[in-house]
Amino acid sequence: MGFWRRLFSGGMPSRKAGYEAAASGRRLGNWQPGNEGVNTLLFRDADLMRSRARDLVRRNAWAFNGVDALVSNLVGTGIKPRSTHADAAFKERVHALWLDWSREADAHGVQGFYGLQALAVRTMVEGGEVLARLRERDPGDGLVVPLQIQLLEPEHLPFTLNRDLPNGNRIRAGIEFDRIGRRVAYHLYREHPGERAAGGGLFGDPIPVPASEVVHLFRPLRPGQIRGEPWLTQALVKLHELDQYDDAELVRKKTAALIAGFITKPSPEFALAGEDDAIPDEHGAAPVSWTPGTMQVLMPGEDVKFSEPADLGGQYGEFMKTQLRAVAVAIGVTYEQLTGDLSGVNYSSIRAGMVEFRRRMEQWQRSVIIHQFCRPVWERWMDRAVLAGALEAPGYARRRREYQAVKWIPQGWAWVDPQKEFSAVVMAIRAGLISRDEAVATYGYDAEEIDRECAAANARADKLGLALDSDPRRRTRTGAAVQDGTP
């Protein structure tokens, strides 16, 4: 009867959670998070998180260095395209034209294409996302390919713009979607809304720009996410409070160092040696200074008490290391990269940490930077180059995918011990585990280009009659001469 009475009166019998993580007892009763969608959370909090992340990067050395480490490892000197078209002559023309255009790719004329890559990734890491407008130019502008890139900070795309349009499209956080969820336009401010203090402020209403002309670079963390979050999000609170603690500790040390000791006198009017020449402060107290080596004789009844402020000793360094390790984990870099502290590491430990770090970098390079930024820029660049007559590609409309086939090569990794690493690579190639082309690509180079350079160097050496130890046709690895093709 008790069960049915509770059931029909609206109550339910208590039950034990099937999972410990779903329990609501004393330990977890206060932990009742909401289940909002990722876009709801970002629409509400992203602007504040972005401003806090940028504030920390401006004034906190650890935050700045963490962002710098991510950018230098994700981009470095640039993620470079290598055409994989079957025609070698066509590839040479493409690479030469791309090299010429990369110098004038920036719509503001400040950076080259690889500088734009680094700036775009830095903006994404700090602010969560970045926008790049693909600006088509007039043939009379004198560009080798009439296309330039204009980078825009995410403030140009307002989170507050959300409405349903009469044609059935809908705008969410400034992005317009059609009925089946495809991005059709980005509603952008002409000027940065935060430039009002610098004399601007006439940014007006957002202007719709076709999605085909905008590259939106961000790291999606949940399905359906349409805007990005700063990469420092999980470290913001800890970095902010750790920065305050470190400043407070520094001030405490400075304050303690200012006071050497206290002298007690038998009576206020009794003057000590050196006190007669001192200038009293506003309260009438005159400081007494002793030079090094002073032997001071005290009068009867006088006593000296030295300042003994509390000192954390070795606890401070260990505490800071522990906290900075947590910050490094939250940002996605190693502790050594965040702080520059290499004490206590050896070859095995640093290599193990770097292998895991580099695997993460390669994932973000391929799935985020190359797919979202490099790929659409290359495709639009190729289209404009062919239409402008800068690149000859017969049957381009039918064979567009064939002509646009490309492989993006990030900058190679500099290993901890090159001798061991290269020996392992040579063994893998000789065992047939990887190809030589793939091995060369991991170091940021193109195997075909290296082959041409080697052939040119060998031809030059033969012409001049040089027999170098570095020439495997002439010398073995041990330095022995090669005769008739055999050592």
Q: Are residues 75 and 184 in the same domain?
A: yes
pLDDT in tens, the chain (487 residues): 555 555 445 555 556 778 888 888 788 888 888 889 999 999 999 999 999 999 999 999 999 999 999 999 999 999 999 999 999 999 999 999 999 999 999 999 999 999 999 999 999 999 999 999 999 999 889 999 999 999 999 999 999 999 999 999 999 999 999 999 999 999 999 998 887 654 444 567 899 999 999 999 999 999 999 999 999 999 999 999 999 988 888 887 777 776 666 666 666 555 555 455 555 566 656 566 656 655 565 666 667 776 666 665 568 888 889 999 999 999 999 999 999 888 888 877 888 888 889 999 999 999 999 999 999 999 999 999 999 999 999 999 999 999 999 999 998 877 667 777 777 788 888 888 888 887 787 777 777 778 888 888 888 888 887 777 777 777 766 666 776 555 4
Q: Are residues 176 and 109 in the same domain?
A: yes
For residue 61, tell me if it sits in a domain: yes
Q: Are residues 79 and 218 in the same domain?
A: yes
For residue 209, tell me if it sits in a domain: yes
Range of the domain at 159: 38-231
Tell me how far apart the alpha carbons of residues 161 and 447 are, in angstroms, rounded to a whole number.
Answer: 49
At 1 the pLDDT is: 52
Select from 91, 90, 120 the least CA-distant residue to 105: 120
At 201 the pLDDT is: 46
For residue 289, tell me if it sits in a domain: no
Q: Are residues 149 and 261 in the same domain?
A: no
Q: Are residues 78 and 93 in the same domain?
A: yes
Q: Are residues 189 and 116 in the same domain?
A: yes
Surface-to-core class of residue 311, CB atoms within 10 Å of its CB (0-12 exposed, 13-18 middle, 19+ buried): exposed
At 198 the pLDDT is: 47
Q: Are residues 161 and 223 in the same domain?
A: yes
* Phi and psi, residue 35, nearest 5°: -125, 40
Where would I find the H helices in 128-270?
236-258
Contact 155, 129 (CB under 8 A): no
Residue ranges with strand state E in 12-169 = 80-83, 129-136, 147-152, 163-164
Q: Are residues 226 and 246 in the same domain?
A: no
At 203 the pLDDT is: 62
Q: Are residues 99 and 241 in the same domain?
A: no
Question: Domain tally for the chain?
Answer: 2
At 32 the pLDDT is: 85
Q: Provide the b/e sequence for 4-41 (b: ≥16 CB within 10 Å).
A: eeeeeeeeeeeeeeeeeeeeeeeeeeeeeeeeeebbee
Q: Are residues 60 and 175 in the same domain?
A: yes
Q: Are residues 132 and 269 in the same domain?
A: no
Three-class secondary structure of residue 350 per DSSP:
helix
Q: Are residues 153 and 264 in the same domain?
A: no
